[in-house]
Amino acid sequence: MNDLDSTETSNKANNFIASLIESELADGIVDKVVTRFPPEPNGYLHIGHAKAICLNFGLAQTFGGDCHLRFDDTNPGKEEQEFVDAIKEDVKWLGFSWSGEVCYASDYFDQFYDWALHLIRNKNAYVCDLTPEQASEHRGWATAPGKNSPHRDRSVEENLDLFEKMRAGTFAEGACVLRAKIDMASPNMNMRDPILYRIRKISHHQTGDKWCIYPSYDFAHGQEDAIEGVTHSVCTLEFADHRPLYEWFLANLPVNSKPRQFEFGRLNINYTVTSKRKLKQLVDDGIVSGWDDPRMPTISGLRRRGYSANALRNFCDSLAVAKTDGIVDIAQLEFFVRDDLNKSAPRAMAVLNPLKVVISNYPADKMELLTIPLHPDRDMGDRSVPFTREIYIDRADFKEEYSKKFKKKFTPGKRIRLRNSYVIEAQDFEKDEQGNIVQINAILVENTLGVNPEDGVNPKGVVHWVSVSHGRRATIRIYDRLFTHEAPDRGDKDFIEYLNKDSFKTIDNCWVEPELTKTTGEKTFQFEREGYFVADRYDYTSENPVFNMTIGLRDNK
């Protein structure tokens, strides 16, 4: 068995749904696998959705089936076209293509209405006038049965008339709802006469003002699956208690197919919140710059930070698809990001805290183009980097006095290797009136381009550098985790209390290789000895380059 076979076997062992589908196909229970990814367009997708995307589209790909992209747009008060567009872009960016046209729950509103009439005619639904407070009282508790609505025994004719008036806009919002007639004593609260339709006099982003009543998610979801011929409706565990209702609707409606629902554990990551409500609060309160702020766990935020689609897919594929929830250490996600970028990101030099070095024995008017590999994998080719008399190194690489603790630092009388360049030796340094070092005076050790000095006095370390005259000023945005607590939204405290006040800072006086001002948006580089940085997809220009820090070279947490 080769490594690929071992990986596929391991993934199947950690994915009970894939194992089930494999058996069903072998036994002829299903002929073709059809899955769906059904987001509600009330916010941007986050890392948890990435797992669901990879699972649903991945199952379809693995077994030669179809996966639909369907928007469950049954709640127009919280939904926007912006979210629809962002979700479609996220799915494409992750590398997946849906089967056929994009689907919407709103595509089936006429059919849902007809099916609601079917339930009324079969005495399985009724119009209820209870206020929300009264309905809550009638519903009972998990440990106590509910009691029937006084409107539960309305005649079929009365219910049909009232429901038509609901549709016509006769009643005010909240005046009444259409409910399924199931069992108010059921131990499953979802089966206690759930709402099928409610009145919302609000325009819909797809259907405009055609409707003023909208189906509930529970009523729409299973029927959408049936209409689309979905065979495996994969949901997270919180929908397990909804499955009996899902199956009740399918059993009591003249649907053309009978999809089945399967639940798996959702993705939870420490130091992160993925509740759409809480993410929206961060946006609305201006705590972050938007849904795609690079500190956000949204797919668009991770993309803007420089996380690659390949890294996210690899991370999601590494997770077990199990019947229990769990918490994943964010370091596991960061591992896959580093692993992917280490292989794919070209190298470059950037000095984030510049200190000038003047090489006194190098001609002032000379500029030498050094040929430097773009990546340790030489197949990526080379780049040209200008070397001049005056260069910048990082301030942290110089010490006024030598010590064994910092023996690889640049100090007077000691030598250092400039990365992919010459060896230089520090002579002395200059300070300003405040006592800050502003310049190092050094000499170039002759004949050391790519080789050690002939006198046998070798440098103790290597530093990155950028030409003063040919380098370009850039803005660097440094990001850290948004929360200081590993479980910011658990317990009694407000998750806002755990915000990391140092999660974002800007460095304006950064110097980079000149070629970095000629890149395209979203290009990610390894700034040698610093970390991985991406050209901001919106703010980067050749005149004003802006780079976002993706991740450090190693985990220092």
pLDDT score for 5: 38
Could you report the per-residue pLDDT of 99-146, keeping only the tens digit for each?
999 999 999 999 999 999 999 999 999 999 999 999 999 999 989 999
CB atoms within 10 A of CB 140: 16
The amino acid that residue 107 corresponds to is: D
Which neighbouring-strand residues pair with 531? 527
Where in 58-211 does DSSP place strands (E)?
66-71, 103-104, 125-128, 177-180, 195-199
What is the rounded average pLDDT of the residues 36-65?
97
For residue 6, pLDDT beyond 60: no
What is the rounded average pLDDT of the residues 69-88?
96
pLDDT score for 1: 32
The amino acid that residue 448 corresponds to is: T
Q: Which CATH architecture has domain 32-264?
A: 3-Layer(aba) Sandwich (3.40)
pLDDT score for 12: 46
- Conformational region of residue 416, where left means phi above 0, alpha means psi within -120 to 50, and beta covers everything else: beta
Query: Are 111 and 90 in contact, with CB atoms under 8 Å apart?
Result: no
Tokens of 147: 């009691």
Residue 249 CB contacts under 8 Å (≥ 6 apart), including other chains: 180, 218, 219, 222, 223
Could you report the per-residue pLDDT of 163-202, keeping only the tens digit for each?
999 999 999 999 999 999 999 999 999 999 999 999 999 9
User: Could you tell me where in the chain the CATH 2.40.240.10 domains are found?
Assistant: 276-347+474-551, 354-463
d(CA 116, CA 125): 7
d(CA 414, CA 399): 10
d(CA 314, CA 291): 23
d(CA 325, CA 339): 26
What is the rounded average pLDDT of the residues 364-383?
95
For residue 227, pLDDT beyond 90: yes
Name which of 143-157, 402-416, 447-461 the model is least confident about: 402-416
For residue 157, pLDDT beyond 70: yes
d(CA 90, CA 50): 9
pLDDT score for 317: 94
Give the confidence band of 548 by pLDDT, cuts at 50, 70, 90: very high
Max distance between CA atoms of the chain, in angstroms, equals: 104
d(CA 179, CA 174): 13
d(CA 425, CA 529): 21
CB atoms within 10 A of CB 376: 9
Which helix (H) or strand (E) segment holds residue 282: the answer is: helix 276-284
Selection from 128, 114, 125 nearest residue 182 by Cα: 125
d(CA 135, CA 555): 52
The verdict on domain 354-463 having CATH code 2.40.50.100 is no
Better-predicted residue by pLDDT, 320 or 148: 148
Could you report the per-residue pLDDT of 211-220, keeping only the tens digit for each?
999 999 999 9
Q: Which residues are catalytic?
A: 40, 266, 276
Share of the chain above pLDDT 70, in %: 97
Give the confidence band of 47 by pLDDT, cuts at 50, 70, 90: very high
For residue 516, pLDDT beyond 90: yes
Could you report the per-residue pLDDT of 310-352, keeping only the tens digit for each?
999 999 999 999 888 889 999 999 999 999 999 999 999 999 9
pLDDT score for 556: 65
d(CA 64, CA 61): 5
Name the CATH code of domain 276-347+474-551 (choices 2.40.240.10, 3.10.580.10, 3.40.47.10, 3.40.50.300). 2.40.240.10
* Residue 341 backbone dihedrals phi, psi, to 5 degrees: -70, -30
What DSSP line would sit under 26-84, residue for residue?
A: HHTS-SS-EEEE---SSS--BHHHHHHHHHHHHHHHHTT-EEEEEE----GGG--HHHH
For helices 156-168 and 109-121, angle between their N-to-C axes, nearest 10 degrees? 160
pLDDT score for 325: 85
Mean pLDDT of the chain: 94
Tokens of 162: 């009232």
pLDDT score for 557: 59
Residue 153: DSSP 8-state = T
Could you report the per-residue pLDDT of 399-442, keeping only the tens digit for each?
998 888 877 889 999 999 999 999 999 999 999 999 999 999 99
**Contacts of 181-186 spanning 24+ positions with Cβ under 8 A:** 181/123, 181/124, 181/125, 181/126, 181/152, 182/124, 182/245, 182/248, 184/138, 184/139, 184/140, 184/145, 184/146, 184/147, 184/148, 185/145, 185/146, 186/145
User: Could you tell me where in the chain the CATH 3.40.50.620 domains are found?
Assistant: 32-264
